[in-house]
Amino acid sequence: MDYEKEAMDIRRLAKEHTQWFHDSLPMIASENLISPLAREMLISDLHNRYAEGLPGARYYQGNIYVDDIERKAIDLAKELFKVEWADVRPISGTVANMATLFGLIKPGGTIMTPNVADGAHISSAKFGAVGMRGLNGVTYPFDTDIMNIDIDKADKLIRETSPKLALFGMSVFLFPAPLKELRDALEETGCYVWYDAAHVLGLIAGGQFQDPLREGVEVMTGSTHKTLPGPQRGILLANPRNEKMQNKLNYGVFPGVSSNHHLHTMAALAISLAEHLAFGKEYAAQTVKNAQALGQAMHERDMGVLCPDQGFTKSHTIAVDVRKNGGGTPLVEAMEQANIIANKNLLPWDDVNAAQNPSGIRLGVQELTRIGMKEGEMAEVAELLKRIIVDHESTASVKEDVKVLKHQFTKVQYCFTVEEGYDYIDIV
- Residues 9-19 have pLDDT tens digits of 999 999 999 99
* Residues 350, 321: Cα–Cα separation, whole Å: 11
Average pLDDT, integer, range 356-373: 95
**What number is the average pLDDT over the span 111-135?**
82
Contact between residue 194 and residue 218 where contact means Cβ atoms under 8 Å apart: yes
Indicate the pLDDT class of residue 351, thresholds 50, 70 and 90: confident
Q: Average pLDDT of 1-23?
A: 96
Please determine, for residue 380, whether its predicted confidence score (pLDDT) is greater than 90: yes
Residue 419: pLDDT band with limits 50, 70, 90: low
Strand ranges (E), 71-215: 85-87, 110-113, 136-139, 142-143, 148-149, 165-168, 192-196
Predicted pLDDT at 371: 97
Stretch 261-290: mean pLDDT, rounded? 98
Whole-number Å distance between alpha carbons of 342 and 255:
36
Residues 286-335: pLDDT tens digits? Answer: 999 999 999 999 999 999 999 999 999 999 999 999 999 999 999 999 99
Which pLDDT score is estimated for 209? 95
Mean pLDDT for 416-422 is 66
**Is residue 427 over pLDDT 60?**
no
Listed residue (252, 212, 223, 242) closest to 100, CA to CA: 252
Domains identified in the chain and CATH numbers: 38-272 (3.40.640.10)
130-134, 220-224, 266-270, 340-344: range with lowest mean pLDDT: 130-134
Confidence of residue 45 (pLDDT cuts 50, 70, 90): very high
Kindly tell me the sign of the dihedral angle through the C-alpha atoms of 141, 143, 147, 148: negative
Per DSSP, 227 falls in state S
For residue 135, what pLDDT is reported? Answer: 87
User: Residue 126, exposed/middle/buried by CB under 10 A (0-12, 13-18, 19+)?
Assistant: middle
Q: What is the pLDDT of residues 223-252, one digit of tens each?
A: 999 999 999 999 999 999 999 999 999 999
Task: Give the pLDDT of residue 350.
Answer: 85
Q: How far apart are CA 17 and CA 339, in angstroms?
A: 12
Mean predicted confidence (pLDDT) in 154-179: 95
- Band (pLDDT 50/70/90 cuts) for residue 356 is confident
pLDDT, average across residues 104-126 = 86
**Better pLDDT: 217 or 118:** 217
Instruction: State the chain's mean pLDDT as an integer.
Output: 94
Residue 421 has pLDDT above 50, yes or no: no
The residues near 381 (Cβ < 8 Å, ≥ 6 apart) are 25, 27, 294, 297, 340, 368, 373, 405
pLDDT score of 428: 35
At a CB cut-off of 8 Å and minimum separation 6, what does 351 contact?
Answer: 117
Label residue 244 exposed, middle or buried (CB < 10 Å: 0-12, 13-18, 19+): exposed
